Amino acid sequence: MVHQEDEISFVRAQDCCVCFVDIVDSTRVTSSINNPEKVRKYYEIFLNTMAAIARNFGAKIIKNVGDCLILCYPRTSDTSSKSAFNDVLECCITMIETRNTINQKLHEEGLPSLSYRISTDYGRVEVARSATSQSDDLFGPTMNMCSKINSKAPTNGVAIGDGLYKVIETFSWLSSLEKNCYHFEELVTLEHEFNKYPLYSLQRSPIASISEPDWQPSSTNILLIDDEEDILFTFKEGLSSEGYNVEAFEDPVEAFTHFVNVNPSHFNLAILDIRMPGLNGLQLYYRLKAINRNIKILFVSALDAVPELVSILPDVKTTNDIIKKPVALDDFMMAVKTALLQ
């Protein structure tokens, strides 16, 4: 008798954040699309954009079930990692803020707009693996609860469960920085195993409007971050020679620490390398925008990352926002002026 290995095996249990991203009423919407290729494109644009955002915040894509993307955040297994939980919140909000970009892409394809909702919670999950595909899946009450929460989430909004909310409360989450970033409001209370289980809506806190700046170089403050010393020196000298006020950093973590300690409206423009240790340019983008939504961002990269950036970053609309290395100093200076005038 030949022994056959079980198709599904449970490999471990762990605590982590899970997340469901679900299109609202997609069956009705796609029923009006007669072309099967167009239907595929409708789902493809949404799911791939959400997946790209999730990966940039350290999330792992578990699977998609129809029009719903399911993911988890492995780093949140460490409940002392405030940055890991901050990434969860920022990821969810960024996904919601990308809706206009997604719908613009759909309209360009002649497809209808979509709405979606996001739910996220924290708790114990059972990790199972398929022998055929070697892919992981998640089971357990946390997954069931997150699915249930999704139906209570506001359209084009985020709902978080009490499990995640309680972890957030253990941090010193009420510092001025977090108050300026996030707003939690009790949404509804579910009945869960004879107990009350509160849900909360998550929103980005409104930031005080910043008056239109004077784009004269002498009154323009630029944050420049690149881990290549020679490039950093060249760009800083070029900008300073034109009269801009430049603060340059090789270490992105040090740069971010400096940024959060100054007035949020101090910098008019941030110039970010994409591939850097500690914090890469995409992570910095989301964090800077969380503090000052009006700051302008210019990317510099040797990577061929233009299509992905345009798809996942709400404020990156054209290739003018991304400078490809190597770049002549004159072209770099022109890109800076263009960015400031947008």
Q: Is residue 137 within a helix (H) or strand (E), and if so which, with residue range?
A: strand 136-139
Domain boundary among the residues 176, 204, 232 is at 204
Domain boundary among the residues 204, 235, 251 is at 204
Name the pTM for this structure: 0.71
Asked whether residue 2 is domain-assigned, the answer is no
Q: How many domains does the chain have?
A: 2
Does residue 2 surpass a pLDDT of 60? no
Report the distance separating Cα 324 and Cα 342, nearest Å.
19
Statement to judge: residues 168 and 271 lie in one domain: no
Statement to judge: residues 35 and 147 lie in one domain: yes
Asked whether residue 210 is domain-assigned, the answer is no
Which CATH number covers residue 106?
3.30.70.1230
Per the CB < 8 A criterion, the answer to whether 157 and 149 are in contact is no
Asked whether residue 4 is domain-assigned, the answer is no
pLDDT grade, residue 287 (50/70/90)?
A: confident
Domain of residue 223, residue span: 217-341
Q: How does pLDDT run across 213-250, given as a tens digit for each residue?
A: 445 666 789 999 998 898 999 999 999 999 999 999 99
Statement to judge: residues 226 and 191 lie in one domain: no
Q: How does pLDDT run across 113-140, given as a tens digit for each residue?
A: 999 999 999 999 888 877 676 677 888 8
Per the CB < 8 A criterion, the answer to whether 16 and 72 are in contact is yes
Q: Which residues of 166-204 are buried (b: 16+ CB within 10 A; e: fewer)?
A: ebbeeeebeeeebebbbebeebeebeeeeeebebbbbeb
The distance between the two most distant Cα atoms of the chain, rounded to a whole number of Å, is 83
